[in-house]
Amino acid sequence: MLVSPVMSRDPGRCRSLPQMLTFAALLAMAWPAASALAAEESADGYDCQRLEAQAAPATASDWFGRSLWANHCYEFKARAVRIGSDGVRTLALTHNIRDGIEHEVARFLDGDPVVFERRGRIGRGGWASGDANAPTSPQAIMAKLDEHYRLSLGGEERIAGRAAVRLDIEPLDDMRFGQRLWLDKVTALPLKQMLLDTQGRVLETFQITDIEHPTVFEGQIEMDRVRPSPNDAWQPGWLPPGFVPQPVATADASHADKVPHRLFSDGLSSLSMFVEPLDPERPALAPGLHRLGISYAAVRHMVLGGQPMQVVAMGELPPKVLIRVVERVGLAGAESSSQVLSDEVSSDALSPQEAP
């Protein structure tokens, strides 16, 4: 989606599966387009006027790289529809920039009156280490994506009254979903997006129906501060190839040790993990595989370091991937340190349950 909202809720208090899925999805959306900084730019920000001087994209990689910056640099108002398993929802979108800070808002216009909002800077591509001020460039992101996706151009179409270039993004394995994007020919803003499962079937469609005068911001957008890597007591023993930790802040830095949420990504797809102690005074999620819309969540109860824990892996990924992730969680630095609780279900028995 074009909007990258962040919830103000403390993720440690997200006890229902829908709340956790929503929180994780919003953080995941905030990352992908926010991790790229052109190599020729300063470490402090990106001058959006460079977009005006760049030549028109010629290849699929060029189009995708330009769309990353278009998401940041264009101010606009738009109307959109989202079509998924839960029906059709309409949204109002705005993206503004003030004093180098982005402000994005998405308002659902039907159903529950939900508003997502984000104020922020351009994110970093990794935790602080070595040359901490060296951000990931669009070229580095594309080099990484090419290891797991095939990008190709699919011709031109008309979307929201504007000429659009179709970009097909095909996964090279069955551990991630594909996408089909329609990028505005003038701005490279995404006008339409389809998420495709491993069989090529459409899971969700997000489409702009009207966009008002997108304009390039006349100035520089600030970069986010460098964030040190958290010292988690746990670690995933397995992740899909290409998935690496992302420096997404999930709460105030003074409370970082209490936040159980971490985000991993291959540059296009994202995976969220929540690992927290099981509290007999608070309801726990049922072990198994849950579904909410196009997202899945695998839940396991296990003992880590002698303490009962709830492990949740969620995202818009094939269910078997999420199941394998939660099966392989252990203590940091330990080869094998987990024990499944007696009420757990084997991965062979996991089947999707609709989240309440």
128 compared with 269, residue with greater pLDDT: 269
Q: Of 180, 181, 171, give the one whose Cα is nearest residue 147.
A: 171
What's the average model confidence in pLDDT over 115-139? 63
Q: Of 1, 162, 195, give the one whose Cα is nearest residue 92.
A: 1
- Contact (Cβ atoms closer than 8 angstroms) between residue 317 and residue 297: no
pLDDT beyond 90 at 52: no
- Contact (Cβ atoms closer than 8 angstroms) between residue 85 and residue 97: no
pLDDT at site 216: 96
CB atoms within 10 A of CB 131: 8
Q: How confident is the model at residue 233 (pLDDT cuts 50, 70, 90)?
A: confident
pLDDT at site 164: 98
pLDDT at site 43: 55
DSSP-derived 3-state class of residue 351: coil
pLDDT beyond 90 at 195: yes
Four-way CATH pick for 234-354: 3.40.190.80, 3.40.190.10, 2.40.50.140, 3.30.200.100:
3.30.200.100
- Contact (Cβ atoms closer than 8 angstroms) between residue 132 and residue 125: no
pLDDT at site 64: 94
Percent of the chain with pLDDT over 70: 70
Percent of the chain with pLDDT over 90: 49
Query: By mean pLDDT, which of 17-21, 145-149, 221-225 is the weakest?
Result: 17-21
Q: Of 171, 149, 152, 157, give the one whose Cα is nearest residue 62.
A: 152
CA distance 16 to 77: 33
What's the average model confidence in pLDDT over 265-279? 90
Domain parsing of the chain, residue ranges: 31-222, 234-354
pLDDT, mean over the chain? 79
pLDDT at site 293: 83
CATH topology of domain 31-222: outer membrane lipoprotein receptor (LolB), chain A (2.50.20)
pLDDT at site 177: 97
pLDDT beyond 80 at 132: no
pLDDT at site 128: 58
CA distance 171 to 316: 14
User: Which residues, 6+ apart, have CB-to-CB distance to 229 below 8 Å?
Assistant: 127, 128, 129, 245, 247
Which residue do the tokens 């005074």 mark?
Answer: 281
pLDDT at site 141: 67
pLDDT beyond 60 at 32: no
CA distance 286 to 152: 41
